[in-house]
Amino acid sequence: MDLISIRFVEQMLAKGGDLFTAQFFSAGERELFSGKKRHAADFLAGRFAAKEALLKAFGTGMDCELGWNELEFLNQASGQPYLVRTPRLALYLQPQDSIHVSISHHGDYAAAFIIIESSQ
């Protein structure tokens, strides 16, 4: 689980703009973000929280070998977020592992929960 201030993301966007988004978000996430007219910072804050929650679920914290922009959360047609599986994620996930993602926004905060369900 992770919780992040949307204000923090707004400040990072104002300060770093494209550099900030390129460093922390995948091309797919940036494409979704660019289409957001309202609540754009909320969207990025939710994705940022999901990435931090995922690193905690891996048990690595910030010592993960993957870059933040390699961790990609997109949306299904229903709007439900999901983790895009890439070959480099195999360092941390087994093919049979199920990943459950929940992202929520309320007021000044975004929160994310990640559950990794292993068959082992």
Q: Which residues are catalytic?
A: 56, 105
Dihedral pair phi/psi, residue 57, rounded to 5°: -65, -35
What is the C-alpha separation between 53 and 98, in angstroms, rounded? 15
Of residues 15, 53, 77, the one with CA closest to residue 45: 53
By three-state DSSP, how is residue 8 classified?
Answer: helix
Chain centroid, CA 54 distance in Å: 8
CA distance 83 to 99: 7
> Could you tell me which of 73, 34, 77 has the C-alpha nearest to residue 53?
73
